[in-house]
Amino acid sequence: MVTLKKFRDALAGNPGTAMQFMLPDHSFIPPHFHITEVGRVQKDFIDCGGTSRALTTCLLQVLVANDTDHRLNTTKLAGIFNFGNKLFTSDDIPVEVEYEQDAISQFPLADIEITPAGLLFVLGSKHTACLAPDKCGIGVPSTTKTGCTPNTGCC
């Protein structure tokens, strides 16, 4: 997963460069996209085994509007980030992209490639997972699960 530092370095190292976002199915977000939000998202939660956890990400909201002549380059996007510098206390957080097709989805930024057409932001997929398999017995026959009862919330 690409960190905010790597993302900012790619923008700064390639001024005035065109950008493309490639979705996990290898299709592309149309080139007239807008970045409508740059945000720091903090998620505090308790997993199914009772452990408190926190996750912080940089979230870019991408919108495709009707103005097909619009093009955002790396210099303009770096300027948008400059407005939000105070939001980020660390550059060591993952970058995700929020984009709406049939539904609003969030994609982790998996890689950045320099291509003849400009910077290519390769988007990955997110998956759900049990964060406490040792407590819930995920993958263990139900007769041998330890600590997992209907009252513990992990079944």
d(CA 75, CA 147): 54
Q: What is the DSSP string of 89-132?
A: S-S-SBEEEEEESSSEEEEEEEEEEEETTEEEEEE-------S-
Which structure tokens are listed for 6?
Answer: 């790597």
Give the 3-state secondary structure of residue 29: coil
Which pLDDT score, from 0 to 100, does residue 78 have?
Answer: 96
131-141 per-position pLDDT tens digit: 988 887 776 55
Give, in order, the Cα–Cα distances in Å from 28 to each of 50, 57, 96, 120: 40, 23, 16, 10
Amino acid (1-letter code) at residue 117: A
Which pLDDT score, from 0 to 100, does residue 73 have?
Answer: 97
Which pLDDT score, from 0 to 100, does residue 136 have?
Answer: 75
42-68 residues labelled b (16+ CB within 10 A) or e (exposed): eeeeebbbeeeeeebbbebbbebeeee
Other C-beta atoms within 10 Å of 28: how many? 12
pTM for the whole structure: 0.86
Taken in order 90, 41, 60, 111, the sign of the CA dihedral is positive
85-132 per-position pLDDT tens digit: 899 999 999 999 999 988 999 999 999 999 999 999 999 999 998 898
Q: Does 143 have pLDDT greater than 90? A: no
Radius of gyration over alpha carbons of the chain, in Å? 19
Q: What length does the chain have?
A: 155
Among residues 95, 93, 92, 100, the alpha carbon closest in space to that of 77 is found at 95
